[in-house]
């Protein structure tokens, strides 16, 4: 018999978390290691009754077990300490859940600790502002101020590509603001979220303030949309699903981080020693499965050949394979089907004249980091979100041409520009229609403290604890007329 990848001691509960108790069900689904394909666990899929009970329990908890801001901050700091204490378990679960490399799994834990501590800080400084009534004739004696209150039960639906930190970017600010949360993690990566639930309870979060329901979007996700006691939906995933959630939410509030085709522009004056490693990391880390991963790279025609040559050479230094080996830099995609799809897109582009400068080969779910040139505008590898370790490079002659190319997608999440010219940088910030424009960084550079969100079909609303708390609270005006 094969040795299990994760010991039974390290395995978290695999049921639905409702009211502080883990509940099993007759229906289960398998979780498999993304590199070996071996089964890790059977996870209980939430029933319709479980979903309704989780929402009702969350609502009741807000009415009967509310904590003060100081208490919520203490819980979040305690969870950060527990996460550090149990980081080995978390890293192993993240690696098995996702196929991340050792370095990427460690970074996921590091950033999650930061997110918890940032949320704790924000929990105790949720304030409104004074209203300048003196500006209105006859109202100058009035006093007015705003206060912020929890919005209600928050439903968090999270993706596979950040099973700990993205989950916390939703759960931690929601709780910091005084809301209860019902979480539906990705069915690809449920184990990390389950262990997170355990440590949040251990840290002192009231039992009803976190529910976790497992399953796929067609069943559990749809049932969550039917629950009218949910006041706010926060979702990271595809634009297609985002539209379904938005339609079901009606007048209820939402925060959506949706699809993306991220671009980075390398200007003629760019420092390539600085730019190339950042671009490669942004395009290939987590096997390219990041919504801001560099997919389109625009290089000025004067340095196009050098950019391509250096990027391909850098990609060749990034071993792809077993994520548990210390030297591996590119692990598997979330499934073999995802890797086959990306390889098919590469081959289709090559058949139509694109040149593969490096990579393109696949072994099961592992796809080599790939650099392409001369992909036509109608090829999927250029005009659809690849979510794979693939960078397509295209030359440009003028900055306006580069801006137009980057803007020419339905999406607008993040873009990067490498230049040493201040005027070019400021012009890029105004011309690129993206939620984030990075100067001398690639599109996929993120600090957990910053506001993060997109425009156009990439969604709306902001993550980042301070900004997410504003999304997840109601602003109330108080007027005192002496």
β-strand 262-266 against 294-300: which pairing, if any?
Answer: parallel
Q: How far apart are CA 152 and CA 230, in angstroms?
A: 7
**Catalytic residue flag (residue 257):** yes
Let me know the angle formed at the C-alpha of 383 by 317 and 435, rounded to the nearest 5 degrees.
85
Q: How far apart are CA 92 and CA 446, in angstroms?
A: 24
β-strand 21-23 against 455-456: which pairing, if any?
Answer: unpaired
- Distances in Å between the alpha carbon of 208 and those of 152, 240, 375? 13, 31, 52
DSSP 159-186: -SSSTTHHHHHHHHHHHHTT--EEEE--
Residue where the block lists tokens 């080995």: 88
**Catalytic residue flag (residue 155):** no
Q: What is the DSSP letter of 221?
A: I
Q: What is the DSSP letter of 241?
A: H
Q: How far apart are CA 439 and CA 415, in angstroms?
A: 9
Q: How far apart are CA 278 and CA 280, in angstroms?
A: 6
Q: Which of 257, 368, 441, 463 is catalytic?
A: 257
DSSP 36-59: T--EEEEEEPPPHHHHHHHHHHHH
Please give the backbone phi and psi of residue 95, each rounded to the nearest 5 degrees, phi first. Answer: -60, -45
| Torsion angle in degrees (nearest 10) through CA of 169, 236, 261, 104 | 50
Q: What is the DSSP letter of 93?
A: H
β-strand 181-184 against 153-157: which pairing, if any?
Answer: parallel
CB atoms inside a 10 Å sphere around CB 239: 18
Q: How far apart are CA 286 and CA 280, in angstroms?
A: 12
Q: Angle, to 10 degrees, between the axis of helix 165-176 and the axis of helix 69-85? A: 160
Q: What is the DSSP letter of 294?
A: E
Q: Which of 45, 227, 267, 291 is catalytic?
A: 291
The residues that are catalytic are: 257, 291
């Amino acid at each position: 018999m094969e040795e299990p990848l994760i010991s039974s001691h390290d395995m978290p509960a695999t049921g639905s978390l409702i009211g502080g108790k883990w509940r099993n069900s007759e229906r289960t689904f398998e979780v498999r290691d993304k590199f070996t394909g071996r089964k890790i666990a059977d996870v209980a899929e939430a029933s319709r009754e479980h979903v309704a009970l989780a929402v009702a329990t969350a609502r009741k908890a807000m009415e009967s077990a509310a904590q003060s801001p100081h208490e919520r901050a203490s819980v979040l700091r305690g969870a950060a300490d527990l996460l550090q204490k149990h980081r080995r378990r978390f890293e192993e679960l993240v690696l098995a859940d996702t196929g991340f490399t050792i370095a990427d799994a460690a970074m996921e834990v590091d950033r999650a600790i930061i997110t918890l501590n940032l949320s704790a800080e924000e929990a105790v400084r949720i304030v409104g502002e004074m209203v300048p009534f003196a500006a209105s004739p006859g109202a100058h004696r009035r006093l007015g101020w705003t206060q912020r209150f929890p919005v209600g039960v928050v439903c968090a639906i999270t993706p596979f590509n950040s099973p700990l930190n993205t989950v916390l970017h939703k759960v931690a600010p929601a709780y910091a603001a005084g809301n209860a949360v019902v979480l539906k993690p990705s069915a690809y990566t449920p184990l990390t979220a389950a262990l997170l639930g355990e440590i949040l309870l251990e840290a002192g979060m009231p039992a009803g303030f976190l529910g976790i329901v497992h399953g796929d979007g067609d069943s559990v996700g749809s049932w969550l949309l039917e629950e009218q006691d949910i006041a706010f939906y926060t979702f990271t995933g595809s634009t297609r699903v985002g539209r379904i959630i938005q339609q079901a939410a009606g007048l209820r509030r939402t925060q959506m981080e949706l699809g993306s085709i991220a671009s980075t522009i390398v200007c003629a004056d760019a420092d390539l020693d600085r730019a190339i490693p950042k671009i490669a990391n942004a395009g290939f880390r987590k096997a390219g499965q990041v919504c801001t991963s560099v997919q389109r790279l625009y290089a000025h025609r004067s340095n196009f050949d050098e950019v391509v040559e250096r990027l391909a050479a850098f990609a060749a230094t990034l071993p792809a394979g077993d994520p548990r080996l210390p030297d591996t830099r590119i692990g598997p995609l979330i499934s073999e089907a995802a890797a086959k799809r990306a390889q098919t897109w590469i081959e289709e582009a090559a058949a139509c004249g694109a040149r593969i400068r490096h990579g393109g080969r696949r072994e099961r779910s592992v796809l080599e980091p790939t650099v392409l040139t001369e992909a036509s505008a109608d090829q999927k590898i250029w005009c659809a979100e690849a979510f794979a370790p693939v960078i397509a490079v295209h030359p440009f002659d003028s900055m306006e041409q580069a801006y137009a190319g980057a803007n020419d997608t339905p999406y607008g999440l993040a873009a990067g520009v490498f230049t040493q010219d201040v005027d070019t940088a400021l012009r890029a910030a105004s011309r690129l229609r993206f939620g984030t424009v990075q100067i001398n960084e690639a599109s996929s550079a993120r600090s957990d403290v910053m506001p993060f969100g997109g425009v156009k079909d990439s969604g709306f609303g902001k993550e980042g604890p301070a900004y997410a708390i504003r999304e997840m609270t109601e602003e109330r005006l108080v007027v005192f007329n002496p």
